[in-house]
Structure 1
Amino acid sequence: MAIQKIIEVLSIKDYFLFFILIFATYVFNFYYKYLTRPNPLPGPLPLPFIGNLHNIAYDLKLFYEECRLKYGDICEVMLDGHRWIILSRPEYIEKIMSSKCLKRFPCSEGLVELGFYGHGIAGNDVEKSWKYNRQFFTQALLVPKFMDNAVKLTNKLFDELSGYWQSLGKQNTSNNNNDNWTLETDISAWFHAFTNDIISIIATGERTYSIASYYNTQSTIKSEHPDALVEDGNKFVKSIINHLEAIMFFMLVGPFWRHYVPIVGNKANFYLKNRDYINEKLDFMIKKRRKEIEEMSAGTEMRTDMLTSLIIANTEKDTTNIKIVGDETFEPMIDEEIRGNLLDAFGAGTDTTANSICYIVYYLCKYPNVKQKMISEIDSIFSNKSYLTSDDLSKLKYCEAIIKETSRVMTAGNFITRCMTEESEVAGYKWAANTIFQLNIVGVHSHPEVWSNPEVFDPDRFYYVDNGDDKQLENKYSLIMFGGGPRICPGRKLAMDELLLLMASFYSYYNVELVDMHKPLKIVSALVNNVQEMKVRISPRIN
């Protein structure tokens, strides 16, 4: 009754003043904690409720470039109520990566809600489960049979891609019998479709038909694949892209905003529905493949894909011998764990590879002397061969140098997140357990104390010559292409081979130039620097 009487006597003005008092108290407490934090570092001033979310929302790559230039090699931001320590020196990053007390992400309520945390490799901090999944990925992806199969699949898929380009080129020319066609097209769309297709086959044994889908949007002549398969695959690919966006969204945006702010909440709900669709799709693939394996007669040779390997792991059909980690024995994987591993494969093997090959093409167009030197190497290896093998790819040393230099100048990702599980000393400061570190890849790759003339595109800095004058990096974390430490990307050899094979095949058969040499790359910068469009002119090479 007393509370009811108080409510009755309060006016609107009283409620407003009460709200102002609560708000002022929150703001005072927020900045008091901020100003009295241990190890205060330079960085942009955070705002109540959102921290520094407004700073990173507009362009993540530009933000990380500005961090090192404006605040130095160690600085901080605040996101979702937590301090994030940004490191931009190889020595600091090496200290983090060499620690045994390390997690990829802090235990985030948002990542748990998304279903990303605790499964597979990328979001898994359960040591026993992560260690087994990691060992499985590393050994399974390095088996020669797996790598040889991936190279054969890439060759076969590139043939299909070439057929689509030839078809479109001839459709756009007046003489259909003339092989001297020219095609003006968005190479970014083709490479994103290609990598989606290849990782889908490698991961699940089934295609997404992404290149056929894109071809159908450009051509009056449709692909030979059924429309239903093409449309279904295209929908799945788009859902994977949305899921990658969701990981960053749920990691950085707090629960209050996701649950109670209408516009932000609608976005969160969209990502959650997208998650449910992906889970349903992958569960169907897993159950279908399980049934196929169970019905196989004894002695039937298994196809080489990740899904098959994951299903038969630790069963009588398993021939990988990946059964024990230390003294721990593992049971066959449940569907939820298999799904997590497949999502990791799709997430790591699509956009990053597609964007990397786009960057490579862009810089080769900008630097014709580098392109000519690369073509000479490709021609010397490709001579009298229809397809390249894994052994051939290992000889493309200058192509490999181009990949590394392109990754330095235009990195696929902007940062790597790591979280220390014990008190540690980094960059001369002692940090409490669960401190979150952002390893600033952009800052390291453009640091003038790490690289001479960092603004210059120069693959020779990575080119190993035969006279022994190898140009080794002073610190292995001066170039961060695939992360590092125990959580280094297990698919790095597969990614490098795919890039080398795409470069060799593309430039062996085609001339390529930018439609507009003065137009900058159209990039959306988030978790990765995603190329949205890159118009090129393709024509067959006349040897």
Structure 2
Amino acid sequence: TSYRMVAINLRPLGMDELLQSLNSQYGDILELWFGSNRAVVLCHPKYMVKIHQTSTKSKYIKRFQNINNPDGKEYGIVDSGVFNNNDIHGSWKFNRMVFSNALMRPKLDRDALQWTIELVEEMESYWKRAGIIIDDNDMNKALIEDKEIINLPDWMRRFTYDMIYRIAIGTKGDALNSYTNKLCGLNTYETESNSIIKSTQTYAEGIMYFRLFSKFVRNYFPYIRGIIRSNKNIGERSEDGDDIKNSFVMFGGGLRMCPGRKLAMIELKCLVTMIYRKYDVELVDMNVPLKTKSTFLTSCEELLFRLKLRK
């Protein structure tokens, strides 16, 4: 089954919605054509076993098969760093070794634990200054003010920025403080940290456009309309069931597994432990589905909750 994408309004493109729709129609294996670029989409975890092989001889290790495509090099998503580098036996191998040695050191684990504790305590002080935390007196209010609602992604992006800043440079970042000042009306200008965070988000979202559409299409096709050849569900390509092995792989697999996974788990466990030991976390609306956005990466766009001091 193939789905030829001749043109789409690129602005509201959501890859998760697109692929879920195609999966429901065509099953767990489908073929996509983005202009002249062909892609095979695997929608079931069992097909990912070979892709996650821990061998440099695996034919699936390259993220972008069209390595010589000038569009990828123009955007800087191939032949550099670790995440999308296809120079497996050259710069990728060296960069991977540097990242692994730097991020998997026992000393960094101890330092990261202490830095996370300090950063969470600092974030708590900002919540108190911004009037976000609800105490016993506030619980008697008939209506809770909007300022006491926390959007988790906004705070976590700045928490991550400050943590990376500390690990990479060794000095304290200022993203959380700047964001708190903005909430309190003390900052009326665009801070450097906020500008970097926005630029990082824009860069990640733009990868899909450079990956899937040629330079000619990006520049001269403002709207592209899809032509679906068939709308028939192929039952033999679909599988049911919730208990599926490897259906959620947080840090990837194989040689492309994230080298910072240990550090990320230290931060996550420490953050959750320190928040739940002092506060009751309450979602603003239990019935609202989680708002996510999928392009090259899947991210949470909105998760509203309140913090109440425990008695």
* TM-score interval, smaller chain: 0.7 to 0.9
Q: Which residue of 2 aligns with 1:144?
A: 106
Query: Which one of the candidate residues 199, 219, 226 is aligned to 2:164?
Result: 199
In 2, distance between residues paired with 1:496 and 1:172?
28
User: Partner residue of 1:346?
Assistant: none
The equivalent position to 1:119 in structure 2, one of 73, 80, 97, is: 80
In 1, the alpha carbon distance for the partners of 2:184 and 2:176 equals 12
- Please give the residue correspondences for 1:321-336 in structure 2 after superposition, counting only pairs within 5 Å: none
Q: Residue 110 of structure 1 is aligned with which of 52, 71, 78?
A: 71
Cα shift at 1:494: 1.4
TM-score computed with the length of structure 1 as normaliser: 0.47
Deviation at 1:251, TM superposition (A): 0.9
Bigger mean CA deviation after superposition, 528-537 or 110-119: 528-537
Q: Distance in 2 between matches of 1:135 and 1:194?
A: 27
| 1:61 partner amino acid | D
How far 1:257 sits from its partner (Å)? 2.3
Partner residue, 2:128: 166
1:82 aligns with 2:37: yes
1:505 aligns with 2:257: no
CA–CA distance in structure 2, aligned partners of residues 104 and 531 of structure 1: 23
**Distance in 2, Cα, partners of 1:82 & 1:166:** 52
User: Deviation string for 1:63-87 (max 9, x for gaps)?
Assistant: 2223333212211111241111111
> What is the identity, as a one-letter code, of the residue corresponding to 1:137?
F
Distance 1:122 1:169, change over 3 A: same
With over 3 angstroms needed to count, the CA separation of the structure-2 counterparts of 1:95 and 1:175, relative to structure 1, is closer
- The answer (yes or no) to whether the contact 1:511–1:538 under 8 Å persists in 2 is yes
For residues 357-383 of structure 1, the C-alpha deviation after alignment (integer angstroms, 9 at most, x for no partner) is xxxxxxxxxxxxxxxxxxxxxxxxxxx
Q: What residue in structure 1 maps to residue 115 of structure 2?
A: 153
If the length of structure 2 is used for normalisation, what is the TM-score?
Answer: 0.79
Alignment CA distance shift 1:216-1:55 (3 Å): closer
Q: In 2, Cα distance between the equivalents of 1:205 and 1:507?
A: 28
Give the one of 210, 214, 218 matched to 1:254: 214
Which of 287, 290, 300 is the aligned partner of 1:518?
Answer: 287
Q: Are the counterparts in 1 of residues 155 and 176 from structure 2 also a CA contact under 8 Å?
A: yes
Question: Using the alignment, how far apart are the partners of 1:493 and 1:64 within structure 2?
Answer: 31
Offset at residue 525 of structure 1 (A):
2.7
Q: Does 1:59 align with 2:59?
A: no
Partners of 1:172 and 1:479 in 2: how far apart? 35
Q: Which has the larger radius of gyration?
A: 1
| 2:80 partner SS | coil
Over residues 421-471 of structure 1, what are the superposed CA-to-partner deviations in whole Å (9 max), with x where a residue is unaligned? xxxxxxxxxxxxxxxxxxxxxxxxx9634x33xxxxxxxxxxxxxxxxxxx
Structure 1 position 448 matched with structure 2 position 240: yes
Contact 1:209 1:234 in 2 (8 A): no
Q: Count matched residues.
A: 283
Match of 2:233 in 1: none
Residue correspondence of structure 1 range 22-61 to structure 2 within 5 A: 42-44=1-3, 46-48=4-6, 50=7, 58-61=13-16
Are the equivalent residues in 1 in contact too, given 2:133–2:308 (CA < 8 A)? no
Deviation of the 1:208 alpha carbon: 4.4
Residues 1:91 and 2:52 are matched in the alignment: no
- How far the C-alpha of 1:186 sits from its partner, in A, is 2.1
Percent identical pairs in the alignment equals 33
Q: Partner of 2:252 in structure 1?
A: 483
In structure 1, runs of 5+ residues without a counterpart are 1-41, 265-445, 453-472
Compared CA separation, residues 535 and 103, structure 1 to 2 (3 A) = same
| Residues 1:113 and 1:447: Cα distance change in structure 2 (over 3 Å) | same
Query: How many angstroms apart in 2 are the aligned matches of 1:185 and 1:481?
Result: 25
Q: Provide structure 2 residue ranges, at least 5 long, that are not aligned to the other structure.
A: 139-143, 224-237
How much has 1:158 moved relative to structure 2?
0.6
Q: Which amino acid aligns with 1:232?
A: E
User: Matches of 2:62 and 2:307 in 1, distance apart?
Assistant: 45
- Residue-by-residue CA offset, 1:46-95 (whole Å, 9 max, x unaligned): 144x4xx5699543212222333321221111124111111123332112
- Hey, which of these two has a bigger chunk of helix by percent? 1
The reply to whether residue 135 of structure 1 matches residue 97 of structure 2 is yes
Alignment-mate amino acid for residue 141 of structure 1? L
Please list the CA deviations of residues 321-349 of structure 1 after superposition, one character each: whole Å capped at 9, or x if unmatched: xxxxxxxxxxxxxxxxxxxxxxxxxxxxx
Distance across 2 between alignment mates of 1:190 and 1:73: 36
Report whether the alignment pairs 1:239 with 2:199: yes
Residue number among 292, 301, 311 corresponding to 1:532 in the alignment: 301
- Give the root-mean-square deviation of aligned CA atoms: 3.2
Higher relative contact order (CA 8 A, sep 6+): 2
CA spacing shift, 1:170–1:64, aligned 2, 3 Å: closer
Q: The residue matched to 2:150 in structure 1 has which SS?
A: strand
Q: Name the CA distance, whole Å, in 1 between partners of 2:270 and 2:301.
A: 23
Shift of 1:133: 1.0
CA contact 2:205–2:297 (8 Å) conserved in 1: no
Q: Which amino acid aligns with 1:241?
A: Q
- How far apart are the structure 2 equivalents of 1:114 and 1:54? 21
Tell me how far apart the structure 2 counterparts of residues 532 and 187 of structure 1 sit (CA, whole Å): 9
Conserved 8 A contact 1:43-1:76? yes
Task: Write out per-residue CA displacement over residues 173-212 of structure 1, whole angstroms, 9 at most, x where no aligned residue.
Answer: 8989xxxx99323222112221122122223334542211
| Alignment-mate amino acid for residue 43 of structure 2 | S
Question: Which position in structure 1 is the counterpart of 2:155?
Answer: 190
How far did 1:520 drift?
2.5
